[in-house]
Amino acid sequence: MNTWSNIRTITKRELGAYFSAPLAYVFIVIFLLLCGFFTFMVGGFFERGEASLVRPFFDWHPWFYLFLVPAVGMRLWAEERRVGTIELLLTMPITAWQAILGKFLASWLFLGLALALTFPVVITVNYLGSPDNGVILSGYIGSWLMAGAYLAVSCMTSAMTRAQVVSFIIAVVLCLFLILAGFPPVINLLETWAAPWLVDVITSFSVITHFDGFQKGVLDFRDIIFFLSVMVFCLFTTSVILRGHRAG
């Protein structure tokens, strides 16, 4: 089997594992309920009087993903370690990278499916007005990339421990940093004592800072590179951790 066949096989295996357990359905239902409630009730969609999803819909995604994505990613490697199947997986004729990519892609596709199922929100806003669907599409692309970055962090923390709860907590803390680094109240606090260049450096690590452009319909190459860099770095770190398990 070639490299992509191995990755495709692992991806199918992981996707099947998601939908053979209640986790996938619970996640999707919770995500859709949160999106609907915060968009139309908390976000004041109707009170705004404009056909736009920028603020009432996409603004909440970094916070939804903060808890939901680590809940999806915590089992990726922690479960393998807990039941002892990680040794079997790593002794199969596949590389660590193939296993990592296969698991990651399966979870990322699952998150993409959950995001795609929010299409009734898009239909509603188009029914009520004439929104810029290009901006909405850009927001969806940015949201999926952000979910991938959160997932890569969760994949890394899952490889660190066999306890899913510990993996979840560590992932939430790391992802919270990626949010707070660009959270307006935090930026205002930093500006009172930190040099401007330091504030810029800290905010450059924020998912909010890089997601903002997507919400405005701007597909900035630098923002895309940021999210992809987070994924590559965390997945590389995961491979280092797993090689340590294999060597052990």
pLDDT bracket for residue 83 (50, 70, 90) = low
In the prediction, which pLDDT does 84 show? 58
In the prediction, which pLDDT does 51 show? 63
Cβ density class 77-108: b for 16+ within 10 Å, e for less = bbbbbeeeebeebbeeebebbbbbbbbbbbbb
Residue 114 in this model has a pLDDT that exceeds 90 = yes
Higher-pLDDT residue of 56, 140: 140
Residue 1 in this model has a pLDDT that exceeds 70 = no
pLDDT bracket for residue 77 (50, 70, 90) = confident
Quick one: what percent of the chain has pLDDT higher than 70? 87
pLDDT bracket for residue 90 (50, 70, 90) = low
Lowest-confidence segment of 48-62, 106-120, 163-177 by average pLDDT: 48-62
In the prediction, which pLDDT does 23 show? 78
Q: What tens digit of pLDDT does each residue of 30-74 get?
A: 999 998 888 888 767 766 666 677 677 888 999 999 999 998 888
In the prediction, which pLDDT does 110 show? 93
d(CA 121, CA 190): 36
Q: What is the 3-state secondary structure (H, E, C) of 130-187?
A: CCCHHHHHHHHHHHHHHHHHHHHHHHHHHHHCCCHHHHHHHHHHHHHHHHHCCCHHHH
Read off the pTM: 0.88
Residue 138 in this model has a pLDDT that exceeds 60 = yes
Q: Is 1 helix (H, G, I), strand (E, B) or coil?
A: coil
d(CA 43, CA 187): 23
Name the average pLDDT for the chain.
Answer: 84
Residue 247 in this model has a pLDDT that exceeds 60 = no
Higher-pLDDT residue of 7, 92: 7
In the prediction, which pLDDT does 106 show? 92
Mean pLDDT of 136-144: 94
Angle between helices 207-215 and 221-247 (to 10 degrees): 140
In the prediction, which pLDDT does 186 show? 79
Q: Which residues, other chains included, contact 194 with Cβ-Cβ below 8 Å and sequence gap of 6+?
A: 202
Higher-pLDDT residue of 245, 188: 188
Residue 88 in this model has a pLDDT that exceeds 70 = no
Residue 41 CA: distances (Å) to CA of 36, 48, 57, 164, 242: 8, 12, 11, 33, 44
Mean pLDDT of 201-219: 87
